Amino acid sequence: MGAATGEVIRLGIAGGGIMGERIAATVARLDGIEVRAIADANPAQRERLGQAFGCSAVATWEELVAGGEVDAVYVGLPNHLHAAAACAAAEAGLHVLIDKPLCETLAEGERILAAVERAGVRLMVGFSHRFHVELTTAKRMLAAGELGAPVLATDIIVDSAPDGPDWYWDRAAGGGVVQLQMHHSFDRLAWLLDSPIVRVQASVHERALRGAEPADVAAAVTLTFANGAVGTSAASFVTGYDGDGIVELAIQGTHGHVRIETWRSIEAQTARSAFDQHQRRDDWLGAEVAEFAAAIRERREPSVTGRDGLRALRVALAAFESARTGRAVDITP
Ligand SMILES: NC(=O)c1ccc[n+]([C@@H]2O[C@H](COP(=O)([O-])OP(=O)(O)OC[C@H]3O[C@@H](n4cnc5c(N)ncnc54)[C@H](O)[C@@H]3O)[C@@H](O)[C@H]2O)c1
């Protein structure tokens, strides 16, 4: 396995779409990691990216994994392809940075984790929100006990993407708002509260967009955390207008609260202080990729693990079950 301490990590991009291109552009600004190959099913796209980033361009993730040119792979494929690509990459001895969601089913998740364990490679899930400056501020405050004991956490993600790829709203390809957007919420809430979600009660609104079969375009989930705190996670994702998203979060503890507008600001009020922080610049994707590279180089677990991906998936699957049955669903860690 390549990329020993001090060596440049050679990265392959499996899926050079919206996120794959952003990762490639991010890597180009970082030291110690380089994009060596890009795989994308779209010929014009892969040719353009190959030229832009001065690397080889192939048609499928299978060719990328078998090509022997890289030490690590970023999986930025439609969600239903995540498990196959991640397992094959691990089996080829490649480290894996996989975008969220980890995969579609628990069986796939267990397969990925087992493949990674057997191969002794690193696996990181791209829960990018964890690297945003306003969220790291909130995490520091919660971990230091500045808000006291958390009692409520409520999260909303509202988005529209008129130019998004069709698969975003195609359940068969891993689309729908729960798989595409709510994993961020399930992960960031459990991470911030340092407590897993153990019970959900969910309602889902389904609608056919882009001519696909009906998919979940809105979901509202009531949450109970292992530490007893309660919360909500609500998300919707449509196609009909081009607007700025709303990604907001409020957490209250016994001694204070934070209110976060992701990508914009954090407002905090505690027994000791009250302040607003507004963001001017934040290289959150650079921080995420740098953490992946550091974990490889330092031969340690990354700060976001495959288990974290599986934990968010369990909540998503429980939310689907709850919406289907009309009952609350318990999640055993
Ligand atoms: N962390 C974040 O903030 C964030 C934001 C958006 C998307 N995502 C995640 O990133 C991943 C990619 O999403 P996206 O928005 O870039 O989608 P996208 O559709 O823009 O990109 C996917 C690319 O994969 C290519 N592809 C499909 N099948 C292929 C195959 N067999 N071999 C090679 N290439 C293939 C497509 O041509 C496409 O260009 C998804 O898992 C999504 O959930 C994360």
Helical residues (DSSP H) of the chain, grouped into ranges: 18-27, 43-53, 61-66, 82-91, 106-119, 133-143, 177, 183-193, 284-297, 306-325
What is the model's pLDDT at position 314? 98
User: Is the Cβ atom of 88 under 6 angstroms away from ligand 1?
Assistant: no
**Residue range 260-269: average pLDDT?**
96
Helix axes 106-119, 306-325, angle to 10 degrees: 170
Most ligand 1 atoms within 8 A of CB, residue of 13, 19, 160 to mutate: 19
Reported as a single tens digit per residue, the pLDDT across 171-205 is 999 999 999 999 999 999 999 999 999 999 999 99
Dihedral, 196, 253, 222, 137 alpha carbons, nearest 10: -70
Does the C-beta of 40 come closer than 6 Å to ligand 1? yes
pLDDT at position 178, please? 98
Averaged pLDDT for residues 33-37: 98
Whether the pLDDT of residue 212 is over 80: the answer is no
Ligand 1 centroid – CA 40 distance (Å): 9
CA angle 177, 183, 187 (to 5 degrees): 155
Asked if residue 39 has its Cβ within 6 Å of ligand 1, the reply is yes
| Alpha carbons 89 and 110: distance in angstroms, whole number | 15
The Å distance, Cα 141 to ligand 1 centre, comes to 34
Select from 21, 46, 62, 99 the residue to mutate for testing ligand 1; criterion: most ligand atoms less than 8 Å from CB: 99
What average pLDDT does the segment 214-241 reach?
A: 98
pLDDT for the residue 6: 60
The reported pLDDT for the residue numbered 48 is 98
**In this predicted model, what pLDDT tens digit does every residue of 282-320 receive, in sequence order?**
999 999 999 999 999 999 999 999 999 999 999 999 999
| Ligand 1 neighbourhood includes 216 CB (under 6 angstroms) | no
Cβ–ligand 1 contact at 159 (below 6 Å): no
Q: Where does the pLDDT of residue 211 fall: very low under 50, low under 70, confident under 90, or very high at 90 and above?
A: confident
Give distance in angstroms: CA of 332 to centre of ligand 1. 31
CA of 167 to the centre of ligand 1 (A): 9
Domains in the chain with CATH codes = 9-121 (3.40.50.720), 129-280+314-330 (3.30.360.10)
What's the gap between Cα 149 and its chain centre?
26
Ligand 1 contact via 309 beta carbon (within 6 Å): no
State in Å: Cα 153 to ligand 1 middle: 30
From 18, 47, 96, the mutation candidate for ligand 1 (largest count of ligand atoms within 8 A of CB) is 18
> What is the Å distance from ligand 1's center to 104 Cα?
14
What is the whole-number distance in angstroms between the Cα of residue 207 and the centre of ligand 1?
22
**Ligand 1 centre and the CA of 267: distance in Å?**
33
Give dist(CA 146, CA 171) in Å, integer.
41
Ligand 1 atom nearest to 127, measured from its CA: 1
Least confident of 1-10, 67-76, 101-110: 1-10
Question: Does residue 126 line the site of ligand 1, with CB under 6 A?
Answer: yes
Residue 99 Cα to ligand 1 midpoint, Å, equals 8
Using the atom order of ligand 1, give the atom closest to the CA of residue 15: 24
Angle at 16 between CA 165 and CA 119, to 5 degrees: 120
